[in-house]
Structure 1
Amino acid sequence: MTTVTGQLPAAQDPREPIDLLMRDLRCGAGGLPAREAARRLVVYGPNELTRRGGRRWWRELVRQLVHPLAALLWLAAALALVAGTTALAVAIGVVVIVNAVFAFVQEQQAERAVEALAAYLPQRATVLRDGVRTAIPAADLVPGDVLMIEEGERICADARLIEGGVEVDLSTLNGESLPAYRSAAETDRGGPLLESRDLVFSGTSCTGGEATALVYGTGMRTELGRIAALTQRVGRDESPLEAQVKRVAWLIALVAVTAGLAFLPLGTFAAHLSTAAAFTFAIGLLVANVPEGLLPTITLALGMGVRELARGGAVVKRLSAVETLGSTTVICTDKTGTLTMNRMRVTAVWTRPQRIELEPGHPAPLAATLRLATAAARCNNAGLEPETGDPTEIALLHAAADLGVPVDAAARRRDRRRQFHFDPALRRMSTVDEIDGEAWLHAKGAPEELVPLCSRIAGATGDHDLIGADRAAVGAAVAELAAHGLRLLAVAVRRLPPGPPPERREDAERDLTLLGLIAMFDPPRPEVAAAVERCHTAGIRLMVVTGDHGLTAAEIARRVGIGTAETPIVTGAELDAMPEAQLDRLLTDHRELIFARSSPEAKLRIADALRAQGHVVAMTGDGVNDAPALRRADIGVAMGVAGTDVAREAATMILTDDNFATVVTAVQAGRRVYDNVRKFILYIFAHATPEVVPFLVFALSGGAVPLPLTVLQILAIDLGTETLPALALGREPAEPGLMQRPPRTRGQGVIQGRMLVWAWAVLGGVSALLVLAAFLATLLAGGWHLGDPTGPGTPLHLVWREATTMTFLGIVACQIGTAFAARTQTAPLRAVGLFTNRLLLWGVLFEVAFAAALVTVPALRGLFDTAVPGWDRLALLLPMPFVVWGADELWRARLRRRDRRPGR
């Protein structure tokens, strides 16, 4: 046994000759001494996936508290404190804190993704220490340990096989559904590391066989650790809605601060207001410009969208992602289980004398077909009751049973004498089985690999030499079936001479008799084609990004409507060799593409390239290897059924049914949510004008016209009467033609100039005129003249309170008209129906009841400075909603006529 001293090498080439690798790792075949293993554990650290940095919760909390809109509200609260309006300051502060806490509790995705990756490491490992087989915690593994691997175990370090062979499920790392055979007898010096036939990797599973392996990588130095580090390094950019809300917040802050700075000197010097009045004016102007209900309304509306999507099979983990879905311009989708049913089935069996389509009522199989089905059932490791094993082999057993061949697993195991495992390089496997005292070799594999090993072929009257005409027939059958994107397996047999089975597969797999071909297909989900068509109509690009073979992916894509026969197929190797400029041209020149054999870095590169071109990218995935790309994409979509925990943690959305159609439904829901966000933002912004204009009238008149509205009344509007109708607008049904519109660009703002004109000038302007008219009419009717004092203790104070109440109630009445006006963007209200949004009707009812309570309840009257107007005054409120709504209908009718003009 080699004793290890001195400093350990930092990194090794695991594919160098095994004696050199042991020399470099300073170990031997008998394992490490226990004391040396303990020293290496100190040097290398535990065999665990570590998180970079850690949760900086305080930064996230501070970021929410200093959001531009939050900062503006803090300023308003500070001014309220200076002015002595403590209740207002507290109310505004509570709004800011509630929103910050709500955002803070959202997940820290990178850390949770690494925690999920850690679940792929087993808790115990069996190693040789001091030459003795010893079970140790998996975290204590170190480079140089000799690891014992057995069937059913999860491998817990990257290692080089020393002895034996195992079948390994690598799907968590490379997305391949078929297990790969790894053997100490195989050596590879080139090609991708994951394809090396004598290496096994942390986080994968041993599905068969047993072996001894030399550990060369642990913890973050493994392939699994590399993906974990890549996932952590990939940041998450803010969503389009987050960026736009921040932009809007800065706009609001600029308008509010500019208005305050501009009109505060005007009120102090030009209008000769007192300091107290000037502060009151500044606070009122600031509070009137800031839509206090905007952030909670957006948050709650997105929350309702999340709940609705969850009921439809899409669990969204980040609120803003609901809106991001609506702006998706490119969907990069996996194939297996997303476009397809992940249920392989045999569709056709070809033999020289007969071809059978395995459909109900197929013809009776001939002897050659039965021989092929028997061989496929023998060369098989799956089971049917219950279904266990590889999906391909399960499909072969179902086909054999359908043709009337016994598929009993116990009998198969009893008769088996030897197995040559599936080799991804050779693309075939074979078994030696004893049948009626004779040894037979049964083999299956890719036709291009197995057919050259055949010298005979099964015919209608028996076996005969595989001559030119027969080879041409086989080639034609292969070409015809492959042209339909079917996965093909050739099946062959050989009667072995008496004696022990051959030790080497080269000696066994020769002079075979070709029985025929089996064509298999993983059918597309029936609902995917319609979903793809909806994407095309909506202007969304589709790209297939898969670890599967390109021809198979292309055929599935073609069947569901993605791409054509001319659609390029780009392999992972081709993408790796492709310069960035060429990739950009490829993505620009071709609307739809097939990316096959894609690595984690390739998927990440595709997402980055599309995002750099301004696209909003949704990417689906299910394996560990998909995690970095899922995190980089604007919307990472993980499979909830077949997906790994790692993919689910790294993703933004999880599909509970693994169905591509659900992604498209979520995109439609996202578009509807975005439209509805615009609707209630329009609704909220429309009230800024009737809230700001009264303060301007007060300032410009030098106080001769009293304040038509108090600050607390503004707060009651922004946080009370308008909140429920705004939320109800967030539940508006989709307008006709929603999925016929092209997706908006990444930079398109949620607030545009046309929307501001509509909100501030049309809806807000009409509302401001109406409420000012009601205010002045009430004052004049009560005997007020310009300049008369209306403060506490004056004869006109009660008249002023009644007039401000009319202003307050007038804004509420106009809100009702604005709510119905905001329900559509261009279509008239009759197109969606007056009573189709029942939540809005309940919201209006609450709005009226809340306003009535502020006016009639004595305690609230005192707090908000309101008074009960006379019936003649209240009658002035009745036409206001109809006037606002009517003005909006005329405005939109004008826009529709303009948009219908030729050339527009």
Structure 2
Amino acid sequence: MSEEKKKQLNQPFYTEEIDAVLEKMETTTEGLSTNEVNKRLDDYGHNQLDEGKKKSWLSKFGDQFKDFMIIVLLVAAVLSFIMGDQVEAIMIIVVVMIMAVFGVIQEAKAEEAIEALKDMSTPNANVRRDNTTKVIKSNELVPGDIVLLEAGDVIPADMRLIEAASLKIEEAALTGESVPVEKNIAVLDQEDIGIGDRINMAYMNSNVTYGRGLGVITGTGMNTEVGKIANMLAQADETNTPLKENLNKLGKVLSIVIIGICVIMFAVGMLRGGHDWIDMLLTSVSLAVAAIPEGLPAIVTIILALGTQKMAKRNALVRKLPAVETLGSTDIICSDKTGTLTLNQMTVEEVFSNNETIEANEEIPLDNQTLKIMTFCNDTKISDDNTLIGDPTETALVKFGMDHGFDVVDELRNAPRVAEIPFDSDRKLMTTVHQLADGKFLIAVKGAPDELLKRCSFFDVHGDIKPMTKEQQELILTNNTNMAKQALRVLAMAYQISESIPEDMASESVERELIFSGLIGMIDPERKEAADAVKVAKEAGIRPVMITGDHRDTAEAIAVRLGIISEGQHEAVITGGELNEMSDDELAKRIEQYSVYARVSPEHKVRIVKAWQKDGKVVAMTGDGVNDAPALKTADIGIGMGITGTEVSKGASDMVLADDNFSTIVIAVEEGRKVFSNIQKTVQYLLAANLGEVLTLFIATMVGWDTLLPVHLLWINVVTDTFPAIALGLEPVEQGIMKLKPRGRSSDLFSGGVLSSIVYQGILEAGITLGVYMFAITYPVHSGYEAIHADALTMSYATLGLIQLFHAFNVKSVRESIFKVGLFKNKTFNYAVLLSFVLLAVTIVIPGFNDIFKVAHLDAYQWGIVFGASIAIIPIVEIVKWVQRKTVYK
């Protein structure tokens, strides 16, 4: 499509008269001719969304190797091959390949959003062409087509309405507003208004719930509002998760350390003399390879996968593995109101009748006149299984009656409808006429309180009909105002008893001299558990932010009821119109001020998420509608709704709530915090162990000792770096984890005392291992140098392996004592340590393995020294933790 054609469609048609719109679209109410349609199909294309570019499996596989940690591992594999250590190299390559395949599988479902948008399109549309009405496929529609609308239709494209008879369109999936919008054809004055306020427009994929209409298509395919969302989805950048950033940072730190080790080792060795430069280079490289925790990426993946399984059991379905950990670092939860914090179901909350206020949970007499009017003056269809079909507002009235024991079907059978005046958006009233058993007729009227009250000459209090007075009007208006302040949608009920069916069924003749009966206050109520979830989130230092397409007053009232903001905190609420007046920089500066956003569009949601991210926050976005999809994809973690959510929102999200329950997010946050804590423990354990190995070899080489052989390092890494490290990922959640503030984006895997613990614990491991070696060669048990060296070598090998297994108990908590956390609480961990010990001991105690590993048998005395020295790390670290708790963490 040419830029000129795009410009023709991207105009604020809602600000123009119908004739002007028809002229611009070069059409008439008789419709386009077949020849003109074919021409426009060539010019504008079909009414469908672009598929976008799809990555091939090979491309996705290649993308996995762009991760910095993976690059470091591949370099390590190459160096291992150069050194002749094929076993180590093959192990690293296997780990990398498994990681890459796993990543491709996870990405396979990541780009389903646009496909889901396409599937939502209505298959057929009623179109006026060549002055006749035809049913055609919606993808054949073109700008300028005249489309007929009636209740039950899905809007096939964006259009300017040119006729609207009691037309109501439900736009929740696009705007987030739970109540169907009453449409009309009046010209709007403002250009810069949100989608939800464009009452003379109808938008693709919204639903007609009531009435009928006629519209001229002003946008098709990618030039519709849904098309804009699809374009935003295609262009949205994938946000790097905190975990990916942490692992990349870890990879860079390790690279610097590795290069430093190689350079220092080579330089010192050459300066000391006595070594061939090739031998020194190989020794330096072997140390560098020893510093790399090659199993870490795979172990992290396993920990995340185990986390997803636990979350799935609690109704949080994770689509992308890093999302598990990201939840734990969340600072902000931007939540869509409708269907997430609320039920997305209009509900009667309060009734004012007989000059009394009745709460929804209170009893109401079955002969209450207001109860009868709200269910009689109603177009809701009741199926055989009592399913209610119709406008959400009207179904809410019928449901209220049925819930309070009013047999609507039986009552209507005894008082059938014989005439009606349909709802009209101008007079804002609806009237039905029912024949009563005594031969008289009930005229039931419902509508806007201000309009209906003008037509009431009397009022009813328990059947006592009295003339309307000024005092009574003030009482009614006061109750109306009180309901409105609670953000309730208020409808008034009135009636009249007639001796016959009115001959003239005009509003002026029938809707007059009415008897006021009562007021009904309705709202889309908050979920019962949502307020508790908001409270827990706040205690965890997480800020809930509500984003909705509803009006400001409704949004503020719900936010107060949920505890998101306090009563009277008006400055914390902002509308989409006010957002439009702000630049991105200004919004970023003022973002901390706002907790509630009303009347927003999809573009606003993305701006809000990005503003919080610019403020350094980790942002989670929940949502269920099409309009939420771009923000879900932009956020650090997008959370879709499994029951009420569209396939679009699910496809764009990282996690889906199977129960649509906001409180499930809090459960998932706790699991995410536990996962990160366990990953931190794993990193601390592995890097402290690797540092201990490197320092042991480095110092021994510098002083001329042969403490460890390459095969020893390899076996220790295989045995101690695998099973205990994975088992640490199964550690139960630590007490008080939900009382801590979020880590935020600035924290990393080394924060919270982990880095200092790695350093001193690595030094401690190396010191104890070298101490055992020194003791063995200084105070030999056997005579002869060869025997002494073999014993010392074996004892240092056994000590380095065992000290890492005992140290695994230390890292069950970074700060707390292991006796408080539970020394043997994690059974899987206990078995993992036992298995690793057996695999280590086998190489020493079982004949045949001695030759392979070049070690000697140890007697009880030597084993005693090894065990005593190895287990010493537990009390030493416990003492350090105690000092830290009394000083640093106090």
- Tell me if TM exceeds 0.5: yes
Distance 1:429 1:726, change over 3 A: farther
- 2:8 corresponds in structure 1 to 11
After TM superposition, give the deviation of residue 888 of structure 1 in Å.
0.4
After TM superposition, give the deviation of residue 253 of structure 1 in Å.
0.6
SS state of the match for residue 235, structure 1?
Answer: coil
Distance 1:812 1:453, change over 3 A: farther
Distance 1:353 1:92, change over 3 A: closer
Is the 1:432–1:439 Cα contact (8 Å) retained in structure 2? Answer: no
SS state of the match for residue 716, structure 2?
Answer: helix
- 2:417 corresponds in structure 1 to 415
- The Cα offsets for residues 807-829 of structure 1, whole Å up to 9 and x where unpaired, read as 33322211122111011222212
- 2:797 corresponds in structure 1 to 808
- Select the residue among 878, 884, 887 that pairs with 1:898: 887
- 1:407 maps to a residue whose letter is V
- 1:171 corresponds in structure 2 to 172
- 2:576 corresponds in structure 1 to 572
Distance 1:449 1:282, change over 3 A: farther
Q: Is 1:84 equivalent to 2:84 in the alignment?
A: yes
Deviates more, 1:126-135 or 1:609-618: 126-135
After TM superposition, give the deviation of residue 784 of structure 1 in Å.
9.6
| Structure 2 Cα separation of the partners of residues 170 and 506 of structure 1 | 33
- Select the residue among 314, 317, 323 that pairs with 2:316: 314
| Structure 1 Cα separation of the partners of residues 325 and 705 of structure 2 | 45
Q: Is 1:728 equivalent to 2:727 in the alignment?
A: yes
Distance 1:318 1:804, change over 3 A: farther
- 2:176 maps to a residue whose letter is G
SS state of the match for residue 746, structure 2?
Answer: coil
| Structure 1 Cα separation of the partners of residues 850 and 100 of structure 2 | 32
Distance 1:50 1:801, change over 3 A: farther
SS state of the match for residue 290, structure 1?
Answer: coil
- The Cα offsets for residues 470-494 of structure 1, whole Å up to 9 and x where unpaired, read as 1111122223444455443222335
| Structure 2 Cα separation of the partners of residues 748 and 43 of structure 1 | 53
- 1:111 maps to a residue whose letter is E
After TM superposition, give the deviation of residue 59 of structure 1 in Å.
5.3
| Structure 2 Cα separation of the partners of residues 392 and 716 of structure 1 | 70
Distance 1:137 1:799, change over 3 A: farther
SS state of the match for residue 209, structure 2?
Answer: strand
- The Cα offsets for residues 613-640 of structure 1, whole Å up to 9 and x where unpaired, read as 2222222211111112222222222221
- 1:538 maps to a residue whose letter is A
| Structure 2 Cα separation of the partners of residues 603 and 177 of structure 1 | 17
| Structure 2 Cα separation of the partners of residues 33 and 242 of structure 1 | 57
- 2:765 corresponds in structure 1 to 767
| Structure 2 Cα separation of the partners of residues 686 and 895 of structure 1 | 18
Is the 2:25–2:144 Cα contact (8 Å) retained in structure 1? Answer: yes
- 1:125 maps to a residue whose letter is A
| Structure 2 Cα separation of the partners of residues 731 and 616 of structure 1 | 25
Is the 2:626–2:649 Cα contact (8 Å) retained in structure 1? Answer: yes
Deviates more, 1:861-870 or 1:346-355: 861-870
SS state of the match for residue 687, structure 1?
Answer: helix
Matching of residues 373-412 of structure 1 within 5 Å: 373-383=372-382, 385-401=386-402, 405-408=406-409, 411=413
Matching of residues 623-772 of structure 1 within 5 Å: 623-701=625-703, 704-706=704-706, 708-752=707-751, 754-761=753-760, 763-772=761-770
- The Cα offsets for residues 618-669 of structure 1, whole Å up to 9 and x where unpaired, read as 2221111111222222222222111111111122221111112111121122
- 2:872 corresponds in structure 1 to 883
After TM superposition, give the deviation of residue 307 of structure 1 in Å.
1.4
Distance 1:272 1:140, change over 3 A: farther
After TM superposition, give the deviation of residue 719 of structure 1 in Å.
3.9
SS state of the match for residue 315, structure 1?
Answer: strand
Distance 1:55 1:363, change over 3 A: closer
Distance 1:421 1:122, change over 3 A: same
Is the 1:383–1:394 Cα contact (8 Å) retained in structure 2? Answer: no
SS state of the match for residue 564, structure 2?
Answer: coil
After TM superposition, give the deviation of residue 899 of structure 1 in Å.
3.9
Distance 1:525 1:125, change over 3 A: closer
| Structure 1 Cα separation of the partners of residues 294 and 829 of structure 2 | 20
Identity %: 31
- The Cα offsets for residues 372-404 of structure 1, whole Å up to 9 and x where unpaired, read as 533444224253702333444333113324556
Distance 1:233 1:862, change over 3 A: farther
| Structure 1 Cα separation of the partners of residues 631 and 227 of structure 2 | 16
Is the 1:550–1:597 Cα contact (8 Å) retained in structure 2? Answer: yes
After TM superposition, give the deviation of residue 604 of structure 1 in Å.
2.1
Is the 2:559–2:565 Cα contact (8 Å) retained in structure 1? Answer: yes
| Structure 1 Cα separation of the partners of residues 552 and 117 of structure 2 | 28
Is the 1:481–1:519 Cα contact (8 Å) retained in structure 2? Answer: yes
| Structure 2 Cα separation of the partners of residues 244 and 67 of structure 1 | 11
Is the 1:293–1:723 Cα contact (8 Å) retained in structure 2? Answer: yes
Is the 2:433–2:501 Cα contact (8 Å) retained in structure 1? Answer: no
Deviates more, 1:89-98 or 1:55-64: 55-64
- 2:46 corresponds in structure 1 to 46
- 2:348 corresponds in structure 1 to 346
Is the 2:154–2:208 Cα contact (8 Å) retained in structure 1? Answer: yes
Q: Is 1:822 equivalent to 2:821 in the alignment?
A: no
SS state of the match for residue 154, structure 2?
Answer: coil
| Structure 2 Cα separation of the partners of residues 579 and 73 of structure 1 | 44
| Structure 2 Cα separation of the partners of residues 579 and 217 of structure 1 | 28
- The Cα offsets for residues 250-278 of structure 1, whole Å up to 9 and x where unpaired, read as 00110001111221233245343234522
Structure 1 residue runs of 5 or longer lacking an equivalent are 1-6, 789-795
- 2:380 maps to a residue whose letter is N
Is the 1:603–1:629 Cα contact (8 Å) retained in structure 2? Answer: yes
Distance 1:643 1:20, change over 3 A: same
SS state of the match for residue 216, structure 1?
Answer: strand
After TM superposition, give the deviation of residue 606 of structure 1 in Å.
2.0
- 1:37 maps to a residue whose letter is V
- 1:792 corresponds in structure 2 to none
- Select the residue among 449, 466, 469 that pairs with 1:467: 469
- The Cα offsets for residues 820-868 of structure 1, whole Å up to 9 and x where unpaired, read as 1011222212212212111210110221133234456778766655555
- 1:229 corresponds in structure 2 to 231
SS state of the match for residue 281, structure 1?
Answer: helix
Is the 1:55–1:108 Cα contact (8 Å) retained in structure 2? Answer: no
Q: Is 1:543 equivalent to 2:545 in the alignment?
A: yes
Number of equivalences: 872
- 1:748 maps to a residue whose letter is S
After TM superposition, give the deviation of residue 188 of structure 1 in Å.
4.2
Structure 2 residue runs of 5 or longer lacking an equivalent are none
After TM superposition, give the deviation of residue 310 of structure 1 in Å.
1.3
Matching of residues 116-131 of structure 1 within 5 Å: 116-131=116-131
Distance 1:17 1:819, change over 3 A: same
Is the 1:271–1:699 Cα contact (8 Å) retained in structure 2? Answer: no
| Structure 1 Cα separation of the partners of residues 790 and 126 of structure 2 | 84
Matching of residues 776-787 of structure 1 within 5 Å: 776=774, 781=780
Matching of residues 522-561 of structure 1 within 5 Å: 522-561=524-563
Distance 1:822 1:279, change over 3 A: same
After TM superposition, give the deviation of residue 405 of structure 1 in Å.
4.2
After TM superposition, give the deviation of residue 885 of structure 1 in Å.
0.8
| Structure 1 Cα separation of the partners of residues 745 and 510 of structure 2 | 60
| Structure 1 Cα separation of the partners of residues 119 and 345 of structure 2 | 27
Is the 2:375–2:408 Cα contact (8 Å) retained in structure 1? Answer: no
Distance 1:148 1:876, change over 3 A: same
| Structure 1 Cα separation of the partners of residues 153 and 463 of structure 2 | 48
| Structure 2 Cα separation of the partners of residues 278 and 389 of structure 1 | 83
Distance 1:378 1:882, change over 3 A: same
- 1:639 maps to a residue whose letter is M
- 1:594 maps to a residue whose letter is V
- The Cα offsets for residues 452-502 of structure 1, whole Å up to 9 and x where unpaired, read as 454443344544443311111112222344445544322233578955665
| Structure 1 Cα separation of the partners of residues 756 and 179 of structure 2 | 60
After TM superposition, give the deviation of residue 58 of structure 1 in Å.
5.1
- 1:153 maps to a residue whose letter is D
| Structure 1 Cα separation of the partners of residues 396 and 153 of structure 2 | 25
